[in-house]
Amino acid sequence: MAHDLTETPLTSFLDRIAERAPTPGGGSVAAVVGALSASLARMVAAYSTRKNQAPSPAVAAIVERLHQTDTILRELIDADAAAYEAMTAARRAAKSDPTAAAKYQVAVWTGIGVPMQVAAAAAESLITMEELTAHANKHLLSDLGVAAVLAAATARAARFMVLVNLPELADASRRDRLRGDADRLVEQCESRSKAIEAVVRERP
């Protein structure tokens, strides 16, 4: 099934989420929240340079990195829905054809990999946001605080989507490693979010 969630009007997208249908589901929603976070941080970065002036090299680098993260997260909105549907189809095939079990494991790996990428992108976004605090327009620090909170929530939400599929992965060592990786990403995101929130609260 083709996906075009990023081209869907907001109200229609929200209605699609609310439908009795598995996609778009939690993974796509996590990616949307991550993209919202990155987009909001990009706005803060855009206002961190005086009008009609070129950004400093540091701010220009921040803008570029946030744009890259935003792009990745937008792509993952559709990727998560596609991964879920592929996993569902592979599961059905494996029930009637034992030789399809290997393909199912590949589909599971992808189904886990997409939300892991969402969490990793949120972590990268927060690294950049933390750097932005030193350059941000003080009048937009509250917006940066919102972006940070959303990025941390993105990682936490993505971890749920990883954990729900981990039991389907046959390789126990991979399961343990992925669970640990997801936990570390969430810890890093929450730590950086708190640091950014502290800067926002200290704004004169």
Q: pLDDT digits over 80-101, tens only?
A: 999 999 999 999 998 888 888 8
Task: Report d(CA 24, CA 161) in Å as an integer.
Answer: 13
Query: Which one is predicted more confidently, 184 or 55?
Result: 184
Share of residues in the chain with pLDDT > 70 (%): 98
Q: Find out whether 5 and 13 touch, Cβ atoms under 8 Å.
A: yes
| CA-closest candidate to residue 38, choices 118, 126, 114 | 126
Q: Is the pLDDT of residue 1 over 80?
A: no
Task: Report d(CA 193, CA 98) in Å as an integer.
Answer: 46
What per-residue confidence (pLDDT) applies to 2? 46
Mean pLDDT value across the chain: 94
Give the residue-averaged pLDDT of 64-79. Answer: 97
| CA-closest candidate to residue 32, choices 77, 80, 78, 75 | 77
Q: At 84, which helix (H) or strand (E)?
A: helix 57-96
pLDDT digits (tens, 9 = 90+) for 8-40: 899 998 999 999 999 999 999 999 999 999 999
What predicted TM-score, i.e. pTM, was given to this entire model?
Answer: 0.93
What per-residue confidence (pLDDT) applies to 3? 63
Residue 204 — pLDDT band, cuts 50, 70, 90?
Answer: low
pLDDT digits (tens, 9 = 90+) for 123-135: 999 999 999 999 9
Task: Report d(CA 11, CA 149) in Å as an integer.
Answer: 23
